[in-house]
C-alpha cells in the first residue's frame, strides 16, 4: 500500500511521542530494579546477621541475667590471636637459673663455733629440793631445753658421748651422784637421739660396746642397769676414752667430759695435743663440754680443751671432797 503525504504527516507526531517516552520507561525500570536488588541484598544481610548473632534467653527464664551472645571467628583471626599471645622465643633449659643448693659444708663453713663460756654451779642448784651431796637425792629436771643435759650443762645434737671419771677418787657420794646424773640425763633423751657412755680410770670401757645406742625405753633400762654397776677404782687416764668416742662413726655431735680430780703433766699434754688431732679428723670439730666435779684442780686444762673444741666449761661445786686419783 502506498502512503500519502497526508498520512505521513498524521503519523509523525505519534511516533515522535513514543520515541520520547521509551527512554523514560527504561530509566524507571532500571530504578525499580535497582531498588529491588538493594532490598534483596539487605534482606540477605539481615538473615546472615541473624545467623551470626543469636540472642537467647537464659535457661531459667530469668531476665535479670545478661544475654549470651555467640560469635564466629575466622581461622585467620584465631591465628593472629595465638601469634600475639605466645612469646617469640622460649628460653632453653640451659638458660634457666641453676637450682643447685649450696652444700651443707658451705653453709656451715662461715658459722663460727658458739662461745658457751664457763660457769660454776653449786651442786644444790642442779634440781630438786634436797640438793645435798650426802645421799645424791633430790635431783629434779635438768636446766634448759637442749637436746641433752648433764649436770645442768646443755648440749645440742642427736648423738651424745659421755666420758666420765670412774677413778679411785670417785668414791661414796661422788659416785652415787654421778650415777644419778647419768641415769637422769639418759632417761630424758628423746627417742630419736643416740648415745654412748665411756667410763675411764686407768683404762677405758664403753658401756655400749663402742657403738651408738638408740634412746629407746628398752635401751634406757639397759643403760640404767649398766650405770648402777659402775665401780670406782684406778687412776685418771681419759685419752683412750677419747680414742673410742672420736673414732665412732658417725661422729658424736657433742661430748660430755667429766672429772673430779687432776691430771698428771703427761696427761695434760696429751689432752691438748692428742685430742685436738683426733677432733680435727673428718672436717668437723665436736664440741667438748668439760665439767669439773667437786674439785677444780683441773680447771685450767679443762678450760683449754673446751675452748679448742668450741665447747663449754662448768664446775660443779661441793664440800668434803679429797683430791686424788693420779695414776
Cell readout for 148 is 641433752
Determine the average pLDDT of the residues in 139-168: 79
CB–CB of 169/325 below 8 Å?
Answer: yes
Is 136 a residue whose pLDDT tops 70? no
CB–CB of 220/256 below 8 Å?
Answer: no
Is 279 a residue whose pLDDT tops 60? yes
Q: Which stretches of 188-264 are DSSP H helices?
A: 217-228, 239-247
CA distance 187 to 223: 9
Encode pLDDT of 291-315 as tens digits.
Answer: 999 888 999 999 999 999 999 999 9
Encode pLDDT of 211-254 as tens digits.
Answer: 999 999 999 999 999 999 999 999 999 999 999 999 999 999 99
CA dihedral 140, 141, 142, 146 (to 10 degrees): 170
Cα angle for residues 300, 301, 306 (degrees, 5° grid): 100
Enter the pTM of the model.
Answer: 0.56
Task: Report the chain's mean pLDDT, rounded to a whole number.
Answer: 73
What is the rounded radius of gyration, in angstroms, for the C-alpha atoms of the chain?
Answer: 52
Burial class (CB in 10 A: 0-12, 13-18, 19+), 152: buried
Encode pLDDT of 156-168 as tens digits.
Answer: 999 999 999 999 9
**Domains of the chain and CATH, by start:** 158-317 (3.40.50.410)
Amino acid at each position: 500500500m502506498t502512503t500519502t503525504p497526508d498520512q505521513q504527516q498524521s503519523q509523525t507526531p505519534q511516533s515522535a511521542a513514543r520515541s520520547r517516552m521509551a527512554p523514560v520507561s527504561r530509566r524507571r525500570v532500571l530504578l525499580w530494579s535497582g531498588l529491588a536488588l538493594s532490598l534483596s541484598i539487605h534482606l540477605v544481610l539481615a538473615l546472615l546477621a541473624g545467623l551470626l548473632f543469636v540472642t537467647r534467653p537464659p535457661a531459667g527464664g530469668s531476665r535479670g541475667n545478661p544475654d549470651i551472645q555467640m560469635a564466629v571467628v575466622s581461622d585467620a583471626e584465631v591465628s593472629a590471636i595465638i601469634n600475639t599471645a605466645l612469646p617469640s622465643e622460649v628460653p632453653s633449659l640451659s638458660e634457666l637459673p641453676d637450682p643447685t643448693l649450696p652444700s651443707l659444708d658451705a653453709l656451715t663453713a662461715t658459722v663460727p663455733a658458739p662461745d658457751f663460756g664457763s660457769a660454776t654451779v653449786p651442786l644444790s642448784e642442779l634440781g630438786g629440793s634436797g640438793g645435798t651431796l650426802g645421799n645424791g637425792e633430790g635431783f629434779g629436771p635438768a636446766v634448759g631445753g637442749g637436746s641433752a643435759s648433764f649436770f645442768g650443762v646443755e648440749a645440742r645434737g642427736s648423738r651424745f658421748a659421755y666420758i666420765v671419771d670412774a677413778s679411785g677418787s670417785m668414791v661414796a657420794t661422788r659416785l652415787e651422784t654421778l650415777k644419778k646424773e647419768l641415769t637422769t640425763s639418759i632417761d630424758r633423751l628423746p627417742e630419736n637421739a643416740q648415745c654412748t657412755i665411756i667410763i675411764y680410770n686407768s683404762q677405758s670401757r664403753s658401756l655400749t660396746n663402742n657403738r651408738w645406742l638408740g634412746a629407746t625405753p628398752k635401751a634406757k633400762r639397759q643403760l640404767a642397769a649398766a650405770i648402777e654397776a659402775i665401780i670406782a677404782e684406778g687412776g685418771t687416764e681419759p685419752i683412750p676414752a677419747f680414742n673410742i668416742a672420736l673414732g665412732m662413726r658417725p661422729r658424736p655431735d657433742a661430748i660430755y667430759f667429766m672429772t673430779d680430780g687432776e691430771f698428771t703433766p703427761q696427761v695434760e699434754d696429751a689432752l691438748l695435743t692428742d685430742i685436738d688431732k683426733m677432733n680435727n679428723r673428718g672436717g668437723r670439730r665436736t664440741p667438748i663440754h668439760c665439767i669439773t666435779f667437786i674439785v677444780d684442780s683441773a680447771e685450767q686444762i679443762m678450760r683449754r680443751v673446751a675452748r679448742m673444741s668450741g665447747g663449754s666449761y662448768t664446775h660443779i661445786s661441793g664440800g668434803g671432797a679429797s683430791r686424788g686419783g693420779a695414776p
